[in-house]
Chains A and B, each alone.
Chain A
Amino acid sequence: MTTQGEIEVLLVEDNASDVELTLRALQKRNLANRVVVARDGVEALQILEGPAPLPKVVLLDLKLPKLNGLEVLRRMKSDERTKRIPVVVLTSSHEEPDVEESYRLGVNSYVVKPVDFESFATAVAEVGLYWLLLNHPPE
């Protein structure tokens, strides 16, 4: 899914259906062409720690193989290079105790899956990333 140039969004998600539905939601607003998908926590960190430019925003699922989302979040927030990247947590439910823990670790917002565009827009608005949306005129 990696495209040329800057990564706009790093989607960390292991569930293939959720990946497809999320991309579909982003695609509707022409955001999907700059989306990179990591299928587990280790892969997410490799991308973040690799030579590629940093994404503008990270959509992070919490339950991931190998390294879970909270651990990815903790590492990002403790790394000078990545700590300022806004993170939007993807949750299965508002009721999850993990939501609280995510906030404690410095998450910027969260979106309940599957990601519909409206809630994604709200979350992005919360983290002050209007420009991400504004920079992409509809095709």
Chain B
Amino acid sequence: MVTKPSTTITAHDAEISFRLLVESVKDYAIFMLDPEGRVATWNRSAEVIQGYRAGEIVGKHFSRFYIPEDVQARKPEQELETATTTGRCEDEGWRVRKDGSRFWASVVISAVRDGHGKLRGFVKVTRDVSERRRVEEKLRRSEERSRQLVESVKDYAIVLLDTEGRVISWHSGAQRLKGYRAEEILGEHFSRFFTPEDVAAGVPEHHLKLAATEGQYEDEGWRVRKDGSRFWANAVLTAVRDEHGALTGFAKVTRDLTERRRADEALRAAEEYARLVVDLAYSAFVAIDQDGVITGWNRQAEITFGWPRDEAIGRQLAETIIPPQHRDAHRSGLQRYLATGEGPVLNRVIEITALRRDGSEFPVELTISPMRIGGKVVFTAFIRDVTDRKAAEETLQRAATALEAANAELESFSYSVSHDLRAPLRAIDGYAQALLEDHAPQLDTEGQRLLGVVRENAQRMGQLIDGLLRFARFGRQSLTMAPIDMADLVNVVMDDLRQGSERALPPVTIEPLPPALGDKTLIRQVLANLVGNAVKFSRGRPAPDVRIGGRPEGAEVIYFVRDNGVGFDMQYADKLFQVFGRLHRAEEFEGTGVGLALAHRIVHRHGGRVWAESVPGEGATFYFTLARP
């Protein structure tokens, strides 16, 4: 019994202490229910949270704290049952205050049993967590918005990394940019977005470190997609910290700049190209603004005018490269263009005198183009020093004059040959003839024969001189080009040959002849020589046969004249077309040795070719080409 009172006191004291404790708890409604669920005790906090005073609620069933839907669903009873069987029931949900307003509550119901295990009632602890729920809801919505925002971002990959750099969030933009699906990449280290070179150099870790220490790190460089292809990226890595400043991870925003980079590079290349074109131009390039101040000066301008670029830029053009006597014209021309838009010297090639830094003047050729750039007039000029060309032109002119003089001399030489060389020949021939006519009786047969030989040779020399003159004349004569009906021309030549020949011509076969382009008079001469030769050299054959033909080939026509005459040794073919070049002795075949040389010269002047093929004793074929009309 000794202990009993003390125990009672102790139990009593404990109960008082407990009550005080419960009373002092502010944020929790702590009260008891009897086994049927009726409110048995009530505390201050319960009064504050639920709105009932103790007198109003003790003895009432606790179901009135539930919203009607839950009451209907017998949730209060179920919770008591759960607490009865398992000892405890936890729940979070809407509850109703006395005034009907709702609050979000976190509730724990615990069964209370005596020493014999008999159910004595329940302790119910209710906490108003509306505020927390509101915050949570807000956070949830905000996260959802962020997620949607991130998802909707198309051109950026926004990726969250953990503190080690492993991917912990992924979205469609990232998938589009880098090619990985979320399930492939989540948990992987972000270094796989880097090039192997960067990875080997420790770049990803370096970036993480910089972001962690600086808060943010921005970088442009090559990144790698899942398929291995590379793209030029702008990446911003931001350290993410919690409210205590502890690093929780990184946010990485990556943007594909390949297109921009490509455009930048194209622009840079275009600029570089333009700069190089101007700078490496063989012509001097000079640009001036509308005040006549030099704004552009390339390398060749430095060489041409003797002013380095940095000295020339900013100077007045007139005082730099224009000789004093032309400066007024330059200034007034500039003013006139700006006032009226008229510029007679613009946009065409002009030749003027320019000034070097050392004061020397020299001829230049230039083109000035005005252009409007950004609302301002700029004049650009490409200038070429034509000193050398002028000198060359003068040399050429002198050569042409000399050639003209030489031609005139040749002309007068031909004239002399024609007249003065012939005069003694005429005398030899004429007096020999007079001797034969008047003094034949005094000469014996041999004497007469010898005089005959004298005459023959004098006449032959006359022919040679004629041939030489003809050759010189045809060579100089200007060409009158027109389409030629070759079949027609061959017929004309045949008529000439028939008339000029005492003997009948051998049979001549004329194949169809395509037309050609040429000077009819001269080509007639060519045909006359070739056909004349064919007739001459096949004469005396048992069955002489001459054939004339032609066929188009490419842009030209190849004509041939073939005979079955004596032919010639191909070894001497090059001699054929030389003046006075003969392959047969004069006694065998008459001729001056000018005909083929003349034909050769005429065809060459037409831009054609002449050649011959032959087998001695079997005949020869002469070919020549002319352009197709």
Q: Does B132 contact A (CB under 8 A)?
A: no
Say yes or no: is A96 at the interface (Cβ < 8 Å to chain B). Answer: yes
Known contacts A92-B419, A92-B422, A95-B470; decide if A21 and B427 are in contact (CB<8 Å).
yes
Stretch at the interface among B24-32, B303-311, B337-345, B429-437: B429-437
- What DSSP secondary structure best describes chain B's contact surface? helix
Assembly CA distance A114 to B434 (angstroms): 12
* A95 CB contact (under 8 Å) in B429, B431, B434, B473: B473
Q: Does A137 contact B (CB under 8 A)?
A: no
The reply to whether B418 and A17 form a contact with Cβ atoms under 8 Å apart is: no
Asked if A92 and B418 make an inter-chain contact with CB atoms under 8 angstroms apart, the answer reads yes
- Whole-angstrom distance between the Cβ of A66 and the nearest chain B Cβ: 16
A18 to B426, CA, bound (A): 8
Which chain B residues (414-449) contact chain A, with CB distance < 8 Å?
Answer: 415, 418-419, 422-423, 426-427, 429-431, 434
Q: Decide if A17 touches B423 in the complex (CB within 8 Å).
A: yes
Contact B426 A21 (CB under 8 A): yes
The B78-122 residues at the A interface (CB cut-off 8 A) are none
In the bound assembly, the distance between CA atoms of A21 and B426 in angstroms comes to 9
CA distance A63 to B426 in the complex (A): 15
B162 in contact (CB, < 8 A): no
Q: Which of B415, B426, B465, B473 contacts A114 (CB 8 A)?
A: B426
Is the beta-carbon distance between B466 and A95 smaller than 8 angstroms? yes
Indicate if the CB atoms of A93 and B423 lie closer than 8 Å: no
- Contact partner of A21 (CB less than 8 A), chosen from B422, B430, B470, is B430
Contact check: which of A63, A94, A114 meets B429 at CB < 8 Å? A114
Q: Does any Cβ of A come within 8 Å of B469's Cβ?
A: yes
B473 with A97: CB separation less than 8 A: yes
B460 to chain A, nearest CB (A): 14
- Tell me the bound Cα distance from A63 to B470 in angstroms: 19
Assess whether A113 is interfacial by the CB under 8 Å rule: yes
In the assembled complex, the Cα of A62 lies from the Cα of B462 at a distance in Å of 18
Which residue of chain B lies nearest to A94 when distances are taken between CB atoms in the complex?
B466
The answer to whether residues A63 and B419 also contact, given A95-B469, A95-B470 and a CB cut-off of 8 A, is: yes
Bound Cα distance from A96 to B420, whole angstroms: 13
* A24 at interface, CB cutoff 8 A: yes
Q: Which one of B426, B431, B466, B469 contacts A113 once the chains associate, using CB atoms below 8 Å?
A: B426
Residues of B within 8 A of A15 (CB): 423
Chain A residues with Cβ under 8 A from B462's Cβ? 93
Q: Which residues of A contact B418 (CB under 8 A)?
A: 92-93, 95-96
Whether A93 lies near B422 (C-beta < 8 A) is yes
| Inter-chain contacts of A93 with B (CB < 8 A) | 418, 422, 462, 465-466, 469
Residue of A nearest to B424 (CB): A17
Contact string against B for A residues 99-115, beta-carbon threshold 8 Å, 1 for contact and 0 otherwise? 00000000000000110
- Contact residues of A between 81 and 99, Cβ < 8 Å to B: 92-97
By beta carbon, the residue of chain A nearest B420 is A63
Given A15-B423, A93-B418, A96-B418, A114–B430 Cβ distance below 8 Å? yes
Taking the closest CB of chain A, its distance from the CB of B425, in whole angstroms, is 9
Give complex CA distance A62, B465 in Å.
Answer: 18
Nearest chain A CB to B476 CB, angstrom units:
10
A106 to B260, CA, bound (A): 88
Are B470 and A17 interface neighbours, CB within 8 A? Answer: no
> With A and B bound together, what is the CA distance between A62 and B422 in angstroms?
14
Write the chain B residue with the least CB distance to A24.
B434
Least Cβ distance of A87 to chain B in Å? 19
Q: B430: which A residues are within 8 A, CB to CB?
A: 17-18, 21, 24, 114
B256 → chain A closest CB, angstroms:
85
Q: How far is the CA of A24 from the CA of B435 in the complex (A)?
A: 12
User: How many Å lie between the Cα of A113 and that of B466 in the bound state?
Assistant: 13
CA distance A63 to B415 in the complex (A): 9
Residue among B418, B434, B470 facing the most chain A CB atoms (10 A cut-off): B418
Contacts of B473 in A (CB 8 A): 95, 97
Across the interface, which residues of A come within 8 angstroms of B466, CB to CB? 93-95
The CA of A96 and the CA of B470, in the complex, are separated in Å by: 9
Cross-chain contact B434 with A18 (CB below 8 angstroms): no
Q: Report the minimum CB–CB distance from B146 to chain A (whole Å).
A: 106
- A17 / chain B contacts, CB cutoff of 8 Å: 423, 426-427, 430-431
Q: Which residues of A contact B434 (CB under 8 A)?
A: 21, 24
Residues 519-540 of chain B, each 1 if its beta carbon lies under 8 Å from chain A, else 0: 0000000000000000000000
Q: How far is the CA of A94 from the CA of B470 in the complex (A)?
A: 10
The interface residues of chain A lying within 8 Å CB-to-CB of B469 are 93, 95-96
CB atoms of B423 and A18 under 8 A apart: yes
8 closest A-B pairs by beta carbon, nearest first, are A17-B427, A21-B430, A92-B422, A114-B430, A63-B419, A95-B469, A114-B426, A92-B419
B→A interface (CB under 8 Å): 415, 418-419, 422-423, 426-427, 429-431, 434, 462, 465-466, 469-470, 473
Can you list 14 contacts pairing A with B, beta carbon distance less than 8 Å? A17-B426, A17-B431, A18-B423, A18-B426, A18-B430, A24-B430, A24-B434, A92-B418, A92-B419, A92-B423, A92-B426, A95-B469, A96-B418, A113-B426
Given A17-B426, A24-B430, A96-B418, 5 more pairs with CB closer than 8 A? A18-B423, A62-B419, A93-B418, A95-B418, A95-B470
